């Protein structure tokens, strides 16, 4: 994929002017389109000038737009190889069939997530979780609910994890108690929570490793994360769909379990013993 070029852009992002950041954001989110666009089309799509597009290319180490477009085109095959993992539901339904429309949107989110997620970032994120002394998950709104599910899933496969609550004290106050070796997994989707982004920034400054689960590489939180896992969350409503996010959460837990099958089996056995001890035995005749 385009991981190296994306990382190069992100590494220079803070040194770019506001106009050049518009171009950077467009590149990060639209690598697949760049080889087919002229410099004028990139300028129009990004909201910047043609001169800004050229300066952006030069500032990150290319002679001009043509060279950076060739660089992107050289890696385009990796993107074109991605095919739908799921088929869309028959669209011959009535226009007012909301169930079908919502299902198709979620299937599209899952398919698009398969295309954009960086497999190396996924692998490295799982490795980081495995080696962590403890994992803290956090987010606001629907991201808070998903952070709790993620913490639960990690606990089920033997990872010490807990979701940060927001009803007791601000995230930054809780982060003061983090120990060395503890990591953060932060979920951030539009509208992006400033508090979650500030938590990621603080963790970065304090040397705590952070994994961001967000909807695009140019999302604000991604610039303060060691690894960004991109998940598509488009929805017919004003909220985010969590279908593809749930798939990613399940994939993280499953990958950890597969890498440590013995540890996962031991945890399952312990959980089953606990459940058995908490189950009230049925009396005869009842």
Quickly count: other Cβ atoms within 10 Å of residue 225's Cβ: 25
Count of domains observed in the chain: 2
Q: Is residue 136 part of a domain?
A: yes
Q: Is residue 45 part of a domain?
A: yes
Q: Which of 10-19, 68-77, 107-116, 128-137 has the highest mean pLDDT?
A: 128-137
* Whether residues 51 and 131 fall in one domain: no
pLDDT band for position 118 (50/70/90)?
Answer: confident
- The mean pLDDT of 194-221, rounded to a whole number, is 94
Q: Which residue has the higher pLDDT, 30 or 153?
A: 153
pLDDT of residue 76: 57
Q: What is the CATH number of the domain that holds 47?
A: 1.10.10.10
Residue numbers of the domain that contains 246? 116-272
* Whether residues 127 and 234 fall in one domain: yes
* Whether residues 245 and 196 fall in one domain: yes
* Whether residues 73 and 124 fall in one domain: no
* Whether residues 71 and 126 fall in one domain: no
Q: Is residue 96 part of a domain?
A: no
- The mean pLDDT of 143-153, rounded to a whole number, is 95
Domain boundary among 50, 79, 108: 79
Q: Is residue 55 part of a domain?
A: yes
- The mean pLDDT of 192-202, rounded to a whole number, is 95
Asked, as a colleague might, if the bond just before 191 is cis with ω within 30 of 0, I would say yes
Q: Is the pLDDT of residue 87 over 90?
A: no
Domain boundary among 28, 63, 79: 79
Distance of CA 95 to the CA centre of its chain: 32
Tokens of 107: 């299937």
* Whether residues 122 and 244 fall in one domain: yes
Contact assessment for residue 219 and residue 119, using Cβ atoms and an 8 Å cutoff: no
Q: By percentage, how much of the chain surpasses pLDDT 70?
A: 88
* Whether residues 133 and 266 fall in one domain: yes
- The mean pLDDT of 223-244, rounded to a whole number, is 88
pLDDT of residue 205: 94
C-alpha 165/C-alpha 148 separation (Å) is: 9
* Whether residues 63 and 142 fall in one domain: no
Domain boundary among 79, 97, 132: 79
* pLDDT tens digits along 247-259: 999 999 999 998 8
pLDDT of residue 95: 56
Range in 12-21, 68-77, 111-120, 152-161 with the lowest mean pLDDT: 68-77
Q: Is the pLDDT of residue 82 over 80?
A: no
Q: Is the pLDDT of residue 74 over 80?
A: no
Q: Is residue 282 part of a domain?
A: no
Q: What is the CATH number of the domain that holds 179?
A: 3.40.50.10490
Q: Is the pLDDT of residue 194 over 90?
A: yes
Contact assessment for residue 144 and residue 168, using Cβ atoms and an 8 Å cutoff: no
Q: Is the pLDDT of residue 144 over 70?
A: yes
- Give the mean pLDDT of the chain: 86
C-alpha 2/C-alpha 7 separation (Å) is: 9
* Whether residues 51 and 120 fall in one domain: no
Q: Is residue 280 part of a domain?
A: no
pLDDT band for position 44 (50/70/90)?
Answer: very high
Q: Is residue 102 part of a domain?
A: no
pLDDT band for position 83 (50/70/90)?
Answer: very low
Contact assessment for residue 110 and residue 86, using Cβ atoms and an 8 Å cutoff: yes
């Amino acid at each position: 994929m385009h991981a190296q070029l994306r990382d190069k852009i992100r590494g220079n992002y803070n040194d770019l002017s506001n106009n050049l950041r518009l171009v950077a954001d467009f590149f990060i989110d639209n690598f697949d389109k760049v080889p087919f666009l002229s410099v004028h089309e990139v300028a129009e799509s990004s909201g910047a000038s043609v001169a800004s597009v050229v300066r952006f290319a030069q500032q990150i180490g290319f002679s001009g737009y043509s060279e950076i477009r060739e660089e992107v085109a050289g890696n385009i095959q990796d993107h074109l190889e991605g095919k739908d993992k799921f088929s869309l539901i028959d669209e011959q339904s009535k226009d007012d069939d909301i169930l079908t429309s919502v299902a198709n949107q979620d299937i599209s989110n899952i398919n698009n997530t398969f295309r954009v997620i960086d497999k190396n970032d996924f692998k490295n994120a799982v490795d980081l979780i495995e080696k962590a002394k403890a994992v803290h998950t956090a987010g606001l709104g629907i991201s808070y609910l998903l952070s709790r599910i993620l913490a639960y899933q990690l606990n089920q496969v033997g990872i010490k994890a807990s979701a940060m609550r927001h009803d007791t004290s601000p995230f930054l106050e809780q982060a003061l108690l983090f120990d060395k070796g503890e990591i953060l997994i932060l979920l951030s989707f539009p509208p992006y929570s400033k508090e979650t982004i500030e938590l990621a920034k603080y963790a970065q400054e304090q040397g705590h490793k952070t994994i961001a689960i967000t909807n695009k590489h140019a999302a604000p939180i991604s610039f303060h994360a060691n690894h960004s896992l991109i998940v598509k969350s488009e929805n017919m409503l004003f909220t985010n769909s969590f279908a593809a996010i749930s798939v990613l959460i399940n994939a993280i837990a499953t990958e950890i379990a597969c890498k440590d099958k013995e540890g996962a089996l031991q945890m399952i056995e312990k959980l089953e013993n606990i459940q058995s001890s908490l189950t009230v035995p049925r009396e005869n005749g009842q």
